Structures are given as C-alpha cells and as structure tokens.
C-alpha cells in the first residue's frame, strides 16, 4: 500500500472546525488508496501558553520538565485528530512520541533524531489502521524522558517519518499556498513557484523564509524526500502548492529563484584587532562557545603589511541575530580581559537587515552579483557587508531600506515572470 505523510501546522488545527477540515483532507487521501501518517503541531498559540506557564512557575526551570509540559500541546491535537477521523469512519489511532517510539538525543528542547523504528506502526497498518496520527515536535531519550526538537520541530518530524517509512511524498499543510519568489506582503508581484530545488529551499529557509524549518529541508535533501507545501484552507489537487524536490526534477531554472530577507540582524565591528595568524579563531571560538550564531564576516585591509610590521592591525566585522548582541559583547569582553584578543572598541549596529538572492542557476550564469549591486545602487542603497556561496548572494544594508531592496531585486531579476 502506498504511504503518504501529511503534516498540519498550528494554524491548520487551531480549533475543532479546522481539525475537521484537516481530517477531510486526510480522508480524501485514504479514499485514494493511501495509508497515511499524519504529523500534527499544537493548536495555534498553545505552545506559547505552555511555555508561559513553565516560565511563570519556575524562571530557572528544569529542561526535562519543560519538555514534559510543552510536548503536551501536540498530544492533545493528535488525540482530537484521531477522534475526528474515527467519527468519519476512518480507522485512525493517535501516537505520542514515546509510543512509536521516536528515539532522540537527550538534548532537551533541542533534541535530534536518532531512530524511528517502524515495527509498531507497521503492525497497526497490517491490522487495518489507515491513519497514524503522530504528535510532532517530540521524542524520547535513552533515559526514557520526553524530549522536544525546538520550534518548527513538527516539520522535521514529518520529513523524518517520510524518510523512515519510504513515503511517496510529504505534504506540509500550512497557512500559505506554497513557496513564493519573495514575501507577497512586500512585493505585490511575488509569484508562487511550482517547483523549487532542495538547495534553493534550504538557502531561503536559512536566510529568513519562514515557510519551512531549516532542519526539515536539510533532512529532506539528505534522504531525497519530496516535499509539497500547500494551504490547509483551500481545495487542493495534485498540482497544488509548491513541490520541493531534487534539482533533476526541474527542467530549467531561472538564474535567481527567490529573494529572502531577515530584519532581525545586527552588525558588530571589532576596531583595531591584531592582524596575526590565529586571530580569527581567537575571536570566533569564544563566540561559538557562547552560542552566538555568526553569519556574514568581513575583515578590512590591514593598516600595515603584517609581514613587514608585526604590529599590524585590522577591523573585523560580522553579523549575528540581534537578540544575541549582549551575549556576543560579553564573550568578546571576556576574551579581551583574559588576553586572548585585543581591540580598541566594539561597535554595534542594530539597525541593519540582510537581503539575499538565491538560485541554482547562478552556477552557470555570470553577472548575477553585478546585476544585484546595480539594482541596489539605483535605489541609493549602501551595502555594508557581502557574503556569497555557489547559489546565494547576501548583503547587509540599513534596515530602513529592506523592503525597497527586496522589491528592487525582485524586479531586477524579473521574478514575476515564469520560466
């Protein structure tokens, strides 16, 4: 029997009416001959409520009990979805993480998958069950404790199940009808993509696109799980949504497939850092130890040539999430106090944003950077930092110009046009 994985996010199961709407979509796939594994998130707003209760009870909470509480939101949804399907005469059963069991590491609130054994669910399918409704976002450690995977973990759960069970496809139902060339709230010309390659989606997800969690795309790319993103609130068919797939399934790609942005960025500059071998490691190792996620990095030209002048100095600039500024500042101050590094000043700019263009077509086309920089220059937008990869160019700019930059780049690469 062919198998399909269907994942429903929090807005898709926000109340009983929406759960019933989602259940009808599952019922349709069962009628088409599929066995179905449904992965559900907590009802919209429930996880935030549970987190609030934990923090209100114990500001210095035990991470194991945090997971026990927060995972309960998905358990409720799974039971309600199974009950709704049973009322529709669809043989369904709910599964919590420990019942599968979904085996994970013991890193509470940020666990990673170790194994998803098939035996228990396969046995129930053999007995006539048509739908296994699995609570997303959770698993169980070797110690037998409930674990959670971090925000967005239900997407990753869905992809992991699709890989473990060899699913024909993994459908991610959400509140948007697919992947767009950019945020439709910023550009009225944004176009829904029929297909996008794993690598492009991974870049867009990591650069700020919120439709899919980065870890879920990484997993899908590794195990070649075909993903389809589509709306819970529209009638759908086999051609609905956007298919995230291997590059080989896409006949011909545009040079640039999408424009992504992240407004929650900060730029830090260490002024007059020693320019010597090992200085980069001396700076970025303490940041890594402090859990600071460094993104774009640029080192200015030294004031002196190092080989001729041992006292040469430079400036080191890097970008990080804006909510990690104080953590980064402390890490740098501690490193300076210990003599690990020396600098004159640490300058923070919290009014920046990152804008990126992404496309697998960049591999075989020259001039993308020039076209991008020309479009930004035409709008008098100054670039502070540049970072590139094989299929991506990112720039850091003043945050006030972010929406203008997104629109300008979308127009410059004519992303409103198909093909």
DSSP string, 7-46: EE-GGGGSSHHHHHHHHHHHHHHHHTT-EEEEEEPPPTTH
Asked if residue 229 belongs to a domain, the reply is: no
- pLDDT at residue 285, rounded to an integer: 96
pLDDT surpasses 60 at 105:
yes
- pLDDT at residue 207, rounded to an integer: 72
Assess whether 17 and 140 both reside in one domain: yes
- pLDDT at residue 176, rounded to an integer: 86
Q: State how beta strands 392-398 and 385-389 pair.
A: antiparallel
What CATH number does the domain containing 308 carry?
Answer: 3.30.2130.10
Asked if residue 407 belongs to a domain, the reply is: yes
Q: State how beta strands 146-148 and 138-140 pair.
A: antiparallel
Assess whether 159 and 266 both reside in one domain: no
What CATH number does the domain containing 27 carry?
Answer: 3.40.1160.10
pLDDT surpasses 50 at 309:
no
Distance CA 399, CA 390 (A): 25
Nearest to 410 by CA among 264, 262, 257: 257
Assess whether 266 and 161 both reside in one domain: no
pLDDT surpasses 60 at 310:
no
Contact 17, 48 (CB under 8 A): no
- pLDDT at residue 237, rounded to an integer: 78
pLDDT surpasses 90 at 406:
yes
Asked if residue 212 belongs to a domain, the reply is: no
Assess whether 22 and 159 both reside in one domain: yes
Average pLDDT over every residue of 322-350:
94
* Backbone φ and ψ of 142, nearest 5°: -60, -25
CA 351 to chain centre: 23
Last residue of a domain, one of 132, 151, 175: 175
Asked if residue 244 belongs to a domain, the reply is: no
Instruction: Give the pair of three-digit tokens for residue 393.
Output: 């160019």
Asked if residue 197 belongs to a domain, the reply is: no
Last residue of a domain, one of 175, 201, 236: 175
Contact 253, 335 (CB under 8 A): no
Number of domains in the chain: 2
> Can you give the residue range of the structural domain that contains 58?
3-175
Asked if residue 360 belongs to a domain, the reply is: yes
Assess whether 277 and 134 both reside in one domain: no
Rg over CA atoms, the chain: 24
0.75 surpassed by pTM: yes
Instruction: Give the pair of three-digit tokens for residue 146.
Output: 């409930």
The tens digit of pLDDT for each residue in 227-286 reads 999 999 988 777 789 999 888 888 767 789 999 999 889 999 999 998 888 999 999 999
- pLDDT at residue 303, rounded to an integer: 59
- pLDDT at residue 162, rounded to an integer: 97
Last residue of a domain, one of 144, 175, 206: 175
* Backbone φ and ψ of 300, nearest 5°: -70, 160
Asked if residue 80 belongs to a domain, the reply is: yes
pLDDT surpasses 90 at 17:
yes
Omega of the bond leading into 101 within 30 degrees of 0 (cis): yes
């Amino acid at each position: 029997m062919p198998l399909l994985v269907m994942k429903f996010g929090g807005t898709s199961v926000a109340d009983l009416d929406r759960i019933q709407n989602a259940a009808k979509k599952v019922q349709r796939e069962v009628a088409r001959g599929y066995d179905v594994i449904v992965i559900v998130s907590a009802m919209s707003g429930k996880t935030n409520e549970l987190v609030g209760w934990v923090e209100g009870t114990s500001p210095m909470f035990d991470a194991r009990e945090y997971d026990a509480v927060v995972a309960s939101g998905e358990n409720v949804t799974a039971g309600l979805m199974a009950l709704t399907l049973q009322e529709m005469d669809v043989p369904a059963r709910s599964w919590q993480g420990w019942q599968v069991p979904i085996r994970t590491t013991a890193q509470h609130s940020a666990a990673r998958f170790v194994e998803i054994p098939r035996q228990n669910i396969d046995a129930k399918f053999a007995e006539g069950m048509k739908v296994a409704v699995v609570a997303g976002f959770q698993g169980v450690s070797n110690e037998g404790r409930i674990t959670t995977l971090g925000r967005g973990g239900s997407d990753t759960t869905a992809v992991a199940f699709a890989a473990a069970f060899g699913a024909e496809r993994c459908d991610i139902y959400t509140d948007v009808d697919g992947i767009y060339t950019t945020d439709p709230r910023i550009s009225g010309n944004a176009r829904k993509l029929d297909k996008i390659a794993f690598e492009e989606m991974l870049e867009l997800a990591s650069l700020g696109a919120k439709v899919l969690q980065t870890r879920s795309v990484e997993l899908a790319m590794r195990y070649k799980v075909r993903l389809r993103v589509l709306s819970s609130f529209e009638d759908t068919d086999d051609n609905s949504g956007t298919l995230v797939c291997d590059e080989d399934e896409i006949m011909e790609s545009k040079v640039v497939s999408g424009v992504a942005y992240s407004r929650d960025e900060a730029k830090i500059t260490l002024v007059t850092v020693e320019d010597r071998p090992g200085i980069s490691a001396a700076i970025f190792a303490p940041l890594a130890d402090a859990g600071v996620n460094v993104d774009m990095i640029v080192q200015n030209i030294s004031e002196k040539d190092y080989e001729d002048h041992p006292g040469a100095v430079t400036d080191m600039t890097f970008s990080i999430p804006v909510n990690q500024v104080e953590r980064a500042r402390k890490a740098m101050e501690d490193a300076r106090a210990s003599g690990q590094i020396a600098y004159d000043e640490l300058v923070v700019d919290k009014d920046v944003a990152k804008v990126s263009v992404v496309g697998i077509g960049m591999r075989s086309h020259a001039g993308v950077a020039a076209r991008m920089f020309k479009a930004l220059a035409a709008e008098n937008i100054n670039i502070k930092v540049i970072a590139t990869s094989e299929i991506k160019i990112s720039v850091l700019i003043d945050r006030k110009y972010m929406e203008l930059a997104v629109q300008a780049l979308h127009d410059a690469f004519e992303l409103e046009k198909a093909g």
